[in-house]
């Protein structure tokens, strides 16, 4: 089994509704994101998935989250832009982009680092 991973980051603001603590106030993060796919197979030139294709899908996805207040985005109007919800949203969007790029891959995991020592990993719905 091969696991191919690329990373990207975005800078944005958020606040957590109904949270009692510092995170209920508007604040910013540099969110680091890692996207991984898994494959048992390699293509004829020895690649599971071209890094370039995965980077394109991830970068185009996180570009839409960069330099905004995440709470203002439609996908977070009814749910908190927590690291957990950001990870699942990125999971769905990157998988959709891969399919649009003609690649038959589903993301295996998305890691979202809110800081260098705190992150969430989402593996898709079980
Ligand atoms: Zn935060």
Q: Which of 112, 76, 110, 114 is nearest to 95 (CA)?
A: 110
Cβ 63 vs Cβ 57: under 8 Å: no
Cβ 109 vs Cβ 123: under 8 Å: yes
Q: How far is the CA of 23 from the centre of ligand 1 (A)?
A: 6
Domain spans, the chain: 2-122
- Give phi and psi for 43, each to the nearest 5: -80, -175
Q: How far is the CA of 53 from the centre of ligand 1 (A)?
A: 30
Please indicate whether residue 34 is annotated as part of the active site. no
- Count the neighbouring beta carbons within 10 Å of the beta carbon of residue 3: 11
Cβ 90 vs Cβ 84: under 8 Å: no
Q: Which of 3, 67, 99, 100 is catalytic?
A: 67
Please indicate whether residue 67 is annotated as part of the active site. yes
Query: What pLDDT, in 10s, does the model give residues 44-87?
Result: 999 999 999 999 999 999 999 999 999 999 999 999 999 999 99
CA atoms of 103 and 114, how far apart (whole Å): 29
Please indicate whether residue 69 is annotated as part of the active site. no
Q: pTM score, two decimals?
A: 0.95
Just give the CATH number of 2-122. 3.30.479.10
Q: Which of 9, 23, 34, 84 is catalytic?
A: 23
Residue 11 has pLDDT above 90, yes or no: yes
Query: What pLDDT, in 10s, does the model give residues 83-111?
Result: 999 999 999 999 999 999 999 989 999 99
Residue 126 has pLDDT above 80, yes or no: no
């Amino acid at each position: 089994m091969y696991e191919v991973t690329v990373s990207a980051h975005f800078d944005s603001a958020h606040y957590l509704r109904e949270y009692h603590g510092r995170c209920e106030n508007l604040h910013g993060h540099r969110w680091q994101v890692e996207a991984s796919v898994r494959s048992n197979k390699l293509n004829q030139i020895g690649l599971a998935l071209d890094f370039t294709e995965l980077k394109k899908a991830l970068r185009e996805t996180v570009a839409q989250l960069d330099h905004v207040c995440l709470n203002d985005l439609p996908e977070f109007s009814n749910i908190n832009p927590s690291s957990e919800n950001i990870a699942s949203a990125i999971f769905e969007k990157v998988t959709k982009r891969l399919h649009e790029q003609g690649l038959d891959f589903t993301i295996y995991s998305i890691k979202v680092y809110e800081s260098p020592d705190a992150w969430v990993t989402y593996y898709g719905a079980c």
